[in-house]
Amino acid sequence: MNSTAVIIAAGLGTRMKSRLPKAAHKIAGREMLRHLILAAEQVFDRIVVVIGPEMDQLAALSRPHHVVIQHERLGTAHAAQQAAPFFGDGPTAIFYADNPLVSAKTMAALLARLQTGDAQLVLMGTTPPDAGKYGRLVSAHGYVRKIVEFNDATAEELQIGFCNAGGLIAAGRDIGAWLSLVGNDNAKGEYYLTDIVEIANRLGAQVAALDIAFDECIGVNSRAELAQAEALFQRRAREAAMASGVSMQAPETVFLAADTELGENVTIAPHVVFGPHVRVEADAEIKSFSHLEGCVVRAGAIIGPFARLRPGADIGEAAHIGNFVEVKAAKLEPGVKANHLAYIGDGHVGPHTNIGAGTIFCNYDGRNKHQTIIGARAFIGSNSALVAPVSVGDGALVAAGSVITQDVPTNSVAIARGRQVIKAKKPPQA
């Protein structure tokens, strides 16, 4: 029996003060909507995303899954109803895109709880450090009887620490039936998804709730809450990395992307930032104040300090990329050394080649990018400019201060600079 996850992502996010839809804002380099979609893909057979009109960016982020549009924003129950044609008879879960940190493990736990059969509706609950203005889950005999919003709660109900976290799951046919009975007799005239708890109880259904870790339940409605969610994600990601064999001297200063891959025995010094699409293989070392994105660092390589690896950088085994070296769209073979003050862009550097300080690959002619190819065990002297397209052969040496505009053959020496002239200094005038 097919299972379905519905993700409600139609919110404008007015409090975000942004032209982007709320669900398009990023945590650890990944859009909030994508966080939920990728988790749901691990658990559910079908995913349906509910967006608002003119949210093309969210539609693109939802591919290849089903997208439906809530043309009028009449509340969360109304948003869920837009996905009703996809509910089917199997389990159907509803999540909110502004609760982006719900894990696949929690989604699976909701599904498993429903499949025990002793409850027809299962809610995500949480016990926050401060219940504050969260809606309270009022229970009796182990089942939830209703959700009471903060403004409507009695003094006794406000003492309840178990709160509504938003997500829920039930059989598709049941959710469809309950949604059809939700009214809008409230101050905002909206149809609220939380009303199905009372409706389900009235119709004789049992409603259960799981107590989910608060770190997964945080809602994001403002820039400040986005920063809080980022901090929670980073803490979780760092702990997972260290548990897998990564060393971090000051983990609170290291920032990971949602898709960062770190091999066993990788060492990360303080103040390192990983952008999206980075893979670091075993035994590599990333030194302080380095920034990596869209790159591969292979086993045993040393990066930094103060290095920048941009998209397309592929750093070979045991290579050294030192301080103030920038690499972009270039493959460096094993054993390459570029220890300081260099720009290596759009090129290929052969194994065990040395790139001297101040060397730059002049890869752009104002219109197009061109390649610089350097062979194995070459030596590029300090303050050299390699004007692409150009190649330097195996074992060749480029003298310091040279501007190389023509290919350098294998095992040759290239000198492209003005000849040094020494003249006698005139004696000072009396």
For residue 1, name the pLDDT band (cuts at 50, 70, 90).
low
Strands 163-171 and 91-96, by their bridges, are antiparallel
Supply the DSSP string of 30-78, one letter for each residue.
EEHHHHHHHHHHTT-SEEEEEE-TT-HHHHHHHTTSEEEE-SS---HHH
- Which residue in 52, 73, 53, 51 sits closest to 62, CA to CA? 51
Backbone CA torsion sign across 357, 361, 362, 367: negative
DSSP 157: G
pLDDT digit string (tens) for 353-395? 999 999 999 999 999 999 999 999 999 999 999 999 999 999 9
For 82-140, the pLDDT digits (tens) are 999 999 889 999 999 999 999 999 999 999 999 999 999 999 999 999 888 888 998 88
Distances (CA, A) of 74 to 57, 77, 84, 194, 365: 22, 8, 16, 14, 55
Residue 334 has pLDDT above 90, yes or no: yes
Q: How confident is the model at residue 42 (pLDDT cuts 50, 70, 90)?
A: very high
Q: Would you kindly state where each structural domain of the chain is located, as residue ranges?
A: 4-216, 242-414
> What dihedral do alpha carbons 227, 35, 214, 233 form, nearest 10°?
-50
Per residue in 408-418, pLDDT tens?
999 999 999 88
pLDDT at 418: 87
Determine contact, residues 9/100, Cβ cutoff 8 Å: no
pLDDT in tens, 183-218: 988 777 889 899 999 999 999 999 999 999 999 999
Q: What stretches of 247-390 show up as alpha helix (H) in DSSP?
A: none
Q: Rounded mean pLDDT of 171-189?
A: 90
Q: Output the CATH code of domain 4-216.
A: 3.90.550.10
* pLDDT over 90 (residue 16): no
Phi/psi at 312 (nearest 5 deg)?
Answer: 90, -5
Determine the 3-state secondary structure of 387 from DSSP.
Answer: strand
- Lookup result for tokens 């959700």: 147
Q: How far apart are CA 345 and CA 49, in angstroms?
A: 40
The answer on pLDDT for 156 being more than 70 is yes
Instruction: Please give the C-alpha separations between residue 416 and each of 15, 269, 279, 386, in angstroms, as whole numbers.
Output: 60, 40, 38, 11
Among candidate residues 263, 278, 339, 349, the one with its CA nearest the CA of residue 306: 339
Q: Is 35 part of the annotated catalytic residue set?
A: no
CA 106 vs. chain centroid, Å, equals 19
Catalytic residue selected from 25, 277, 340, 370: 340
CATH superfamily ID and name for 242-414: Hexapeptide repeat proteins (2.160.10.10)
Element (H, E) at 8: strand 4-8
Return the pLDDT at 405.
97
Residues 322 and 102: their CA atoms lie apart, in Å, by 39
Positive/negative CA dihedral, 66, 72, 74, 75: positive
Between 12 and 126, residue with greater pLDDT: 126
Calculate mean pLDDT across residues 152-177: 92
In the chain, the percentage of residues whose pLDDT exceeds 70 is 100
Sign of CA dihedral 54, 55, 61, 67: negative
In this prediction, residue 430 carries a pLDDT of: 67
Instruction: Work out the number of other CB atoms within 10 angstroms of the CB of residue 364.
Output: 12
Among 347, 361, 340, 276, smallest CA distance to 315 is for: 347
Residue 63 pLDDT greater than 90, yes or no: yes
C-alpha distances (whole Å) from 364 to each of 96, 347, 359 are: 45, 12, 15
CB burial string 295-331: b at 16+ within 10 A, e below: bbbbbbbbbbbbbbbbebbbbbbbbbbbbbbbbbbbb
Residue 12 has pLDDT above 90, yes or no: no
Tokens of 90: 């199997």
CA separation for the pair 376, 394 (Å, rounded): 5
| CATH topology match: 4-216 vs 242-414 | no
For residue 272, the model assigns a pLDDT of: 98
CA 150 to chain CA centroid, Å, is 33
Q: How crowded is residue 211: how many other Cβ atoms within 10 Å of its Cβ?
A: 14
Place of tokens 């380095």: 290
List, for residues 272-326, the tens digit of each pLDDT value: 999 999 999 999 999 999 999 999 999 999 999 999 999 999 999 999 999 999 9
CA distance 27 to 229: 7
